[in-house]
């Protein structure tokens, strides 16, 4: 029994050390590479650098009309941001008439801000200069493939118009399709006064789904589709607040935060070992696993690490330690009244469990509220705090209890000083 317990504890220690090494340094096995946690985790705006901008709608609209404008504006800004290739941008409506945009890792912040806030005007015009529809009438624009007159598939841009646009477009294309001269059959697609395409109308478009052909390459079709899709904002947006965080500043903050976190963990380990001895050693193992679980979960779900997120992580480490201290104090009380170490471990966990659950559940509720109602860094704080609380419960309640029982078998439970008594 003792040999088996020693083997299990030794295996746990080796696995924890190996996992910690991979987490800090990564691992290369043949053609397979496991990146370190630092290289794998996604960084938020305050750590990776980037652009933060708050836009305010310049309109007198209110109520449902304003709400619809803001939703449409948010969707269009999202499409424009997609064109920048930014990974997981954060675009949120704040209050009734503001939109907050966070773009982490943007290389050209000034261009990004110009693109986001630009109130472009997209129009479809007849050769006479009459506006047929505008960007607000275009519901969707996408690239498809369809066979040309030679039976060869070619990229085309397929549009979908709303009901108002469908009717206007049908009336205009009915007139243009009946013309005999080629130049009179053209409908001009104009963005901010610049013609971006000039397709010829071959027949009336009755279903509100015109298709633009004549593109030579897929890139050409994609460019036109993106320009049409990211057309006009439904309301003018005024730049209210802008902040550009350089990648160097973010990297420096990240390095200092990691150093601070490492110091906190080292001090906690020293305190637990000094005061609680064997239980302190088990708690240190549990805390190491806890950190691995939290960081691994964040990498797995693609959560972004922010400065407040690191604060949330350190705070949850403190709560995990608090749970261990509560348990160990109960165990020590049970030993002092004359119970064996094994019985004291079971009794100590049983007595402490209720308090641990109450404490963690209330913090879990707070973390969930911050995640669902917070934005930007506050949301990041809520994510790490919530993940940390769940990991804390798993390691403090299940792992610590299991390993402490093994340690009671290994030590024989005779030398009470090993348990801080």
pLDDT band at 8 (very low <50, low <70, confident <90, very high): very high
- Two tokens at 18? 């190996």
Tell me: pLDDT of 162 over 60.
yes
Tell me: pLDDT of 83 over 80.
no
Pair 37, 299: CB distance under 8 Å: yes
Query: Considering only 10-24, 174-188, 359-373, 396-410, which range has the smallest mean pLDDT?
Result: 359-373
pLDDT band at 131 (very low <50, low <70, confident <90, very high): confident
Nearest to 295 by CA among 71, 99, 63, 39: 39
Q: How far is it, in rounded angstroms, from Cα 174 to Cα 166?
A: 12
pLDDT at 49: 74
> Is residue 50 left, alpha or beta, with left meaning phi > 0 and alpha meaning psi from -120 to 50?
left
Tell me: pLDDT of 13 over 90.
yes
Supply the mean pLDDT for the chain. 82
Tell me: pLDDT of 146 over 90.
no
pLDDT at 16: 93
Q: How far is it, in rounded angstroms, from Cα 214 to Cα 209?
A: 17
Q: How far is it, in rounded angstroms, from Cα 250 to Cα 252?
A: 5
Tell me: pLDDT of 80 over 80.
no
- Two tokens at 2? 């003792």
**Which residues have CB under 8 Å from 391's CB, separation 6+?**
290, 293, 294, 297, 316, 320
pLDDT at 312: 77
Tell me: pLDDT of 375 over 70.
no
Pair 401, 349: CB distance under 8 Å: yes
Highest mean pLDDT, choosing among 169-173, 339-343, 358-362, 388-392: 169-173
pLDDT band at 10 (very low <50, low <70, confident <90, very high): very high
Q: What is the pTM of this model?
A: 0.62
Q: How far is it, in rounded angstroms, from Cα 167 to Cα 365?
A: 51
Rounded to an integer, the average pLDDT of 241-265 is 76
Residue-wise burial string across 219-239, b where 16 or more C-beta atoms lie within 10 A, e elsewhere: eebbbbbbbbbbbbbbbebee
Pairwise pLDDT comparison (278 vs 227), residue with the higher score: 278
- CA atoms lying within 13 Å on the CB side of residue 151: 0
Tell me: pLDDT of 103 over 90.
no
Q: How far is it, in rounded angstroms, from Cα 313 to Cα 397?
A: 19
Tell me: pLDDT of 28 over 70.
yes
pLDDT at 403: 92
pLDDT at 11: 94
Query: Considering only 131-145, 241-255, 328-342, which range has the smallest mean pLDDT?
Result: 241-255
Highest mean pLDDT, choosing among 38-52, 61-75, 259-273: 259-273
Pair 119, 60: CB distance under 8 Å: no
DSSP string, 236-278: -EEEEEEEEE-HHHHHHHHHHHHHHHHHHHHHHHHHHHHHHSH
pLDDT in tens, 59-69: 888 888 888 77
Tell me: pLDDT of 119 over 60.
no
Rounded to an integer, the average pLDDT of 30-51 is 81
Burial of 302 (0-12, 13-18, 19+ CB in 10 A): exposed
% of the chain surpassing 90 pLDDT: 10
Tell me: pLDDT of 84 over 70.
no
pLDDT in tens, 169-216: 999 999 998 888 888 889 998 876 778 888 999 889 999 899 988 877
Pairwise pLDDT comparison (286 vs 256), residue with the higher score: 286
Please report, for residues 99, 103, 107, 239, 324, the alpha-carbon distance to residue 55 in angstroms, rounded to integers and kept in the order given. Answer: 5, 14, 21, 5, 47
Residue-wise burial string across 410-420, b where 16 or more C-beta atoms lie within 10 A, e elsewhere: bbebeeeebbb
Highest mean pLDDT, choosing among 134-143, 183-192, 269-278, 314-323: 269-278
pLDDT band at 240 (very low <50, low <70, confident <90, very high): confident
pLDDT at 249: 59
- Two tokens at 95? 């209050």
Rounded to an integer, the average pLDDT of 308-336 is 83
Distance of CA 413 to the CA centre of its chain: 48
pLDDT at 87: 58
pLDDT at 311: 79
Nearest to 137 by CA among 114, 121, 126: 121
Burial of 263 (0-12, 13-18, 19+ CB in 10 A): exposed
Distance of CA 211 to the CA centre of its chain: 36
Q: How many residues does the chain have?
A: 421
Secondary structure (3-state) at 322 = helix
């Amino acid at each position: 029994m003792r040999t088996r317990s020693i083997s299990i504890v030794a295996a746990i220690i080796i696995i924890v050390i190996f996992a910690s090494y991979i987490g800090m340094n990564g691992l290369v096995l043949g053609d397979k590479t496991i990146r370190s946690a630092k290289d794998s985790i996604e960084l938020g705006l305050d750590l990776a650098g980037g652009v933060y901008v708050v836009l305010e709608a310049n309109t007198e609209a209110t109520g449902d009309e304003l709400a619809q404008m803001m939703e449409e504006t948010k969707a269009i800004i999202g499409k424009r941001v997609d064109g920048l290739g930014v990974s997981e941008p954060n675009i949120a409506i704040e209050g009734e008439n503001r939109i907050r945009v966070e773009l982490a890792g943007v290389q050209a912040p000034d261009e990004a801000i110009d693109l986001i806030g630009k109130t472009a005007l997209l129009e479809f015009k007849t050769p006479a200069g009459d506006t047929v529809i505008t960007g607000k009438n275009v519901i969707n624009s996408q690239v498809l493939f369809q066979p040309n007159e030679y039976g060869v598939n070619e990229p085309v841009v397929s549009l979908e118009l709303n009901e108002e646009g469908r009717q206007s477009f049908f009336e205009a294309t009915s007139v243009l399709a009946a013309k005999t001269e080629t130049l009179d059959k053209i409908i001009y697609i104009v963005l901010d006064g610049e013609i971006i395409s000039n397709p010829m109308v071959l027949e009336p478009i009755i279903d509100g789904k015109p298709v633009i052909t004549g593109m030579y390459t897929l890139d050409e079709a994609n460019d036109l589709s993106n320009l049409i899709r990211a057309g006009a904002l439904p309301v003018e947006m005024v730049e209210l607040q802008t902040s550009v965080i350089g990648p160097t500043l973010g990297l420096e903050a990240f390095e200092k935060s990691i150093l601070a976190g490492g110091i906190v963990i080292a001090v906690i380990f020293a305190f637990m070992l000094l005061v609680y001895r064997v239980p302190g050693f088990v708690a240190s193992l549990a805390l190491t696993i806890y950190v691995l679980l939290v960081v691994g979960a964040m990498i797995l779900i693609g959560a972004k690490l922010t400065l407040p997120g690191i604060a949330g992580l350190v705070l949850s480490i403190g709560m995990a330690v608090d749970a261990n201290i509560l348990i160990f104090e109960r165990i020590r009380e049970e030993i002092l009244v004359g119970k064996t170490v094994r019985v004291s471990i079971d009794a100590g966990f049983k007595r402490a469990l209720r308090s641990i659950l109450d404490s963690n559940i209330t913090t879990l509720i707070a973390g969930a509220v911050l995640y669902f109602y917070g934005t930007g860094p506050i949301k990041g704080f809520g994510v790490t705090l919530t993940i940390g609380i769940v990991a804390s419960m798993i390691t403090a309640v299940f792992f610590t209890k299991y390993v402490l029982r093994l340690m009671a078998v290994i030590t024989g439970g005779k030398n009470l000083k090993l348990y801080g008594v």
